[in-house]
């Protein structure tokens, strides 16, 4: 039962271990959250996910990444805290602040026809990045931790974060959507592919951008 799994998780020290690729929980569609937790347990779970995400550090964390097959995720991006990243890179990639929020039973839908392709990584696949083409704009629907409805449009990097974390809840890793010829270590991305767009990587590694 979810409540028992959360109670067990809450006995562990923070930050919690992040499940790595190869664990079936990352490849199984999570079940909807239907209010199985007490308010106290849900609050403690969300606080633990927040701390684990921040300590990693990351900009999102889905419940399957801490071993829970339930449709809950947290996201946050303090976009101004990227020392050394040029302003033109931030603008080109659509990187903008995404205040902390909890997403319960989230889903997204494309808005418009435009895609954007950038290097992307994952806390469950450490050390690697690959180029992923995703819709530039999406409509996010969900509930927050209080059960209030969430319905908003996001674009750029915030839209990418929401898509990435929601995909986790469907058993999808970013590598399933990636151009695998772009697969690079963090070090290679920093050394070779730090340009605002992955156009150089596409040309030199031999893949097409949308």
Write out pLDDT tens, residues 120-179. Answer: 999 999 999 999 999 999 999 999 999 999 999 999 999 999 999 999 999 999 999 999
Q: Where are the beta strands (DSSP E) in the chain?
A: 60-62, 72-77, 98-110, 115-120, 128-135, 137-143, 149-155, 178-185
CATH architecture of 2-110+138-173: Alpha-Beta Complex (3.90)
H-assigned helices in the chain: 2-9, 39-55, 87-92, 156-168, 186-192, 199-205
Query: Which residues lie across from 181 on neighbouring strands?
Result: none
Q: Which one of 76, 165, 179, 208 is the catalytic residue?
A: 165
Residue ranges, the chain, pLDDT below 70: 80-81
Write down the pLDDT at residue 112.
98
pLDDT at 153: 98
Whether 165 sits among the annotated catalytic residues: the reply is yes
Which residues line the annotated binding site for Fe cation? 122, 164, 168
In terms of Cβ atoms closer than 10 Å to its own Cβ (0-12, 13-18, 19+), residue 175 is middle
Query: Whole-model pTM?
Result: 0.96
Q: For position 79, what pLDDT does the model report? A: 81
Q: What percent of the chain has pLDDT over 70?
A: 99
Count other Cβ atoms within 10 Å, centred on residue 117: 22
Residue 182 in tokens? 């772009």
Domain boundaries of the chain, sorted by first residue: 2-110+138-173
Q: What is the pLDDT of residue 81?
A: 65
| pLDDT computed for residue 196 by the predictor | 96
């Amino acid at each position: 039962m979810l409540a028992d799994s959360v109670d067990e998780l809450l006995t562990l020290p923070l930050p919690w271990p992040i499940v790595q690729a190869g664990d079936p929980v990352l490849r199984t569609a999570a079940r909807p959250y239907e209010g199985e937790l007490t308010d106290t347990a849900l609050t403690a779970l969300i606080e633990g996910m927040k701390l684990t995400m921040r300590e990693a550090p990351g900009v999102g964390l889905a419940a399957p990444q801490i071993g829970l097959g339930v449709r809950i995720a947290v996201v946050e991006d303090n976009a101004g805290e990227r020392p050394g990243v040029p302003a033109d890179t931030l603008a080109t990639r659509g990187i903008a602040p995404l205040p902390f929020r909890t997403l319960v039973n989230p889903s997204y839908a494309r808005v418009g026809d435009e895609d954007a392709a950038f290097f992307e990584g994952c806390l469950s696949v450490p050390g690697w990045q690959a180029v992923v083409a995703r819709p530039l704009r999406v409509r996010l629907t969900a509930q927050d931790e209080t059960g209030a409805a969430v319905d908003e449009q996001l674009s750029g990097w915030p839209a990418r974060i929401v898509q990435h974390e929601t995909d986790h809840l469907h058993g999808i890793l970013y590598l399933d959507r990636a151009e695998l010829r772009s697969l690079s270590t963090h070090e290679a991305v920093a050394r070779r592919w730090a340009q605002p767009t992955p156009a150089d990587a596409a040309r030199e590694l031999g893949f097409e951008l949308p």
